[in-house]
Amino acid sequence: MKKLSYFLMVMMMVLGLSVQAHATLTTIGSATYNSVDYNLIYDDDRGIAWLDYSNNPNLWLNQVNWADGLNDASVLTYNLNPGETMTWSGNWRLPSALNQDGSGPCAGLNCAGSEMGHLFYGELGGTAESSILTSGDPDLALFTNLQPDHYWSGTVDTAYWYYGWEFDFYNGHQNTDWIYYENRFFYALAVRPGERSTSVPEPATLLLLGSGLAGIAVWRKRLGRKEG
């Protein structure tokens, strides 16, 4: 019985570590926008949900207003998957160009600290100077509306108020551009911070749990033979 207890304890530790270490993008449901359903994709690294909708290219201020307008009543209808719960901690907004610790922004290639940089490099397997559409990462299939083009962030340059930060999903480049220049029309994505909880175990957790139960069954069968 001591060996069985030890085995159970080890299995529980493995399961716990697998849940803690597993960081990924997860489609938690959809949101209906303009009568069309778009994926809601949760990034548990950053604690944000992405709306898989690329707003048509526009000026920076218009994109800021577009994202803010998603918070108005009846603009979005949420259709979360069974067992999924979201506790929102903020409103819809354009992604931040700052690093996760609030530093930056970083300029140039391989700026993986911003929210779009993390999505490009950290989650979707993007490569510097290559279009995001060339990534072979399976998570890219979650985003069916992501364009290999410039996207405005919601971050304004602190030194020059007429510059805003943008990210290019065509080559993984992050930099500033004129906010109010009449031909700076870029795409926009919207994110919303929140905490996801689910009553449905992840597939990897189910697989480990099944393996653990199978191991217990074999162990008990062998133990019964020895006792007999």
Pick from 167, 169, 165, 170: nearest CA to 154: 165
pTM, 2 dp? 0.80
Q: Tell me the average pLDDT across 112-118.
A: 98
Alpha carbons within 13 A on the beta-carbon side of 189: 33
Confidence class of residue 32 from pLDDT cuts 50, 70 and 90? Answer: very high
Helix residue ranges per DSSP H, 22-80: 60-69
- On the question of pLDDT at 19 being above 60, the answer is no
Domain ranges for the chain, please list them: 23-201
Distance, in Å, from the CA atom of 125 to the CA atom of 137, rounded to the nearest integer, reads 6
How do residues 43-79 score in pLDDT, each as one tens digit? 999 999 999 999 999 999 999 999 999 999 999 999 9
User: What are 180's two structure tokens?
Assistant: 């109010």
| 3-state percent breakdown (helix, strand, coil) of the chain, nearest 5 | 30, 30, 35
Q: What are phi and psi of 101, to 5 degrees?
A: -85, 5
Question: pLDDT tens digit string along 150-204?
Answer: 999 999 999 999 999 999 999 999 999 999 888 899 999 999 999 999 885 555 4
* Maximum CA extent, the chain: 86
